[in-house]
Amino acid sequence: MKKVFVLDTNVLLHDAQALLRFKDNDVMIPITVVEEIDTFKKDLSEIGRNARQVSRLLDSFRAQAHLIDGVQLPEGGTLKVVLYSEQALKRLPPELRADRGDNRILAVAMQLKDDCNCPVVFVTKDTNLRIKADAVGLNAQDYESDKVSIEELYSGMDEAVLPREQVDRFYGQGYIDVDGDFFDNQCLTLVDEGNTSHTAVGRYDAALGRVLPLIKPPKEGLWGITPRNREQQFAIDLLLNDDIQLVTLVGKAGTGKTLLAIAAGLAKSADEGSYSRLLVSRPIFPLGRDLGFLPGDVEEKLAPWMQPIFDNVELLLGMVDEHGKRKRGYKELVEMGILEIEPLTYIRGRSIPKQYMIVDEAQNLTPHEIKTIITRAGEGTKIVLTGDPYQIDNPYIDSSSNGLTYAVEKFKNQSIAGHITLMRGERSPLAELAANLL
């Protein structure tokens, strides 16, 4: 049966194309939503961009017919802007004040439910508004077109139980053909069925139908960094493989996501010269109360936000050598053109060729922002996205709707992409205990 979907403002601000995502069902936009979108149109953020795009989309439909009468959608449904009336407002319980936008939107949805003989679904990303809608008898749902279940997120790893001779053959010839339903570039642990302690690790190549050995770092490590667990071995293989142009690393605090990525980036750009430079960036979102505007030029304003990157680079460089002398700092790498650290604010419109690009804290980005970043990649560029979906500072996304998990799910079977979920914290025993207990 055809359904009627009533959309809240935050749905359109989250996804400007939401109007077109309900197939042949009817989409209703309360006039209050149009009013609220108008207040965001001058915003310079992603929300403002979506508000302007929604306005343009509604205007294009308005050119076809009156929105108040209904306009045919491409998939067969109808788009309509709905006015609220005094009669609709009287349907609200006395506790819900009629002068609030959320409550007027609720009133329109309740009126449609009473007047329509078909299912009416109120769609909003506002948790409290879903609770209020449920309290007044509406079917309320979250907008989930781009949601990824965090509990079922692709880990990038799997096990293959094999006879002993096949595991031995992998060590002997350097590869092994396997039959199994594995994703391209999935990292595998080959387990001897007769002795589970007899194992091997490799990466599955779907084109060849075989497991290949992992790329190992030099004996001295990547700028002194060596893998401490199996997941880090898998991550280093993906980070050092030039054929894999997109790598996503997900893990809790202290698992080594950023440090491994920067170490691999410096090794590939500064040591091997495979890339012209290492470009490191991160979104700017404060933890807790914002301090307001920061003084100084662009570099000075960015310093507090980029300090975690600086800390990791300084750790890799080593501030003091064995003779007690100070080694090069990150500023010298910047001056030499090997390292560039910048915000994501000005990335739109750029083309970034032959660079090793790391986007840290990518869980704070929306799916559209992730798309904007990845589509900047020019010829020969590798992009690494790192983050923890459980530590999100952006108020408009959550662990299931952020751009990082969205990218993991969309690219999980692509030949030029790889993913690893890092489980074990290696920063310190205290950091690992805090990540598990708090």
Same domain, 247 and 381: yes
CA trace torsion 126, 128, 131, 137 (10° rounding): -70
pLDDT the model gives residue 327: 55
240 shares a domain with 94 = no
Q: Count up the domains in the chain and report the number.
A: 2
Angle, vertex CA 410, rays to CA 404 and CA 415, nearest 5? 110
Residues 286 and 394 in one domain: yes
Helices (H), 136-229: 164-173
Residue 227 domain-assigned (yes or no): yes
Residues 112 and 253 in one domain: no
Query: C-alpha angle with apex 167: 419 to 426, nearest 5 degrees?
Result: 40
Q: Whole-model pTM?
A: 0.75
pLDDT at residue 386, rounded to an integer = 95
Whole-number Å distance between alpha carbons of 313 and 269? 14
Which tokens hold the place of 267? 């090794």
The verdict on 126 and 259 lying in the same domain is: no
Number of helical H runs and strand E runs in the chain: 14, 17
Owning domain of residue 319: 221-437
The verdict on residue 368 lying in a domain is: yes
Same domain, yes or no, for 134 and 240? no
Cα dihedral across residues 283, 286, 290, 291: positive or negative: negative
Residue pointed to by tokens 């309290």 = 135
Contact between 229 and 426 (Cβ < 8 Å):
yes
Q: Which of 141, 176, 200 is the last residue of a domain?
A: 141
> What is the rounded distance in angstroms from the CA atom of residue 102 to the CA atom of residue 130?
11
Q: At 181, list the tokens.
A: 């339903």
List all residues 6 or more positions away from 53 whose beta carbon is below 8 Å from its beta carbon.
16
Residue at 165 is within a domain: no
**Alpha carbon separation from 321 to 83, 218, 264, 338, 396 (Å, rounded):** 71, 20, 21, 21, 45
Q: Would you say 247 and 419 are in contact if contact means Cβ atoms under 8 Å apart?
A: yes
**pLDDT at position 374:** 92
Task: Say if CB 85 and CB 78 are below 8 A apart.
Answer: no
Query: What is the CATH classification number for the domain harbouring 129?
Result: 3.40.50.1010
pLDDT of residue 289: 45
Q: What is the pLDDT of residue 274?
A: 93
In a domain, 206, yes or no: no
**Alpha carbons 317 and 315: distance in angstroms, whole number:** 6
- Same-domain pairing of 112 and 235: no
In a domain, 177, yes or no: no
Task: Say yes or no: 316 and 405 in one domain.
Answer: yes
pLDDT digits (tens, 9 = 90+) for 7-38: 999 999 888 888 888 888 999 999 999 999 99
- Boundary of a domain, candidates 117, 141, 165: 141
Q: Is residue 148 part of a domain?
A: no
Same domain, 245 and 373: yes
Please list, in sequence order, all residues whose beta carbon lies within 8 angstroms of the beta carbon of residue 272, skipping any fewer than 6 positions away. none
Last residue of a domain, one of 141, 166, 194: 141
Closest CA to 211 of 240, 234, 193, 227: 234
In a domain, 355, yes or no: yes
CATH of the domain at 353: 3.40.50.300
203-217 pLDDT per residue, tens? 999 999 999 999 988
In the chain, which stretches have pLDDT less than 70? Answer: 145-147, 285-305, 319-329, 346, 348-349
Query: Dihedrals φ, ψ of 131, to 5°?
Result: -65, -45
Q: Is residue 90 part of a domain?
A: yes
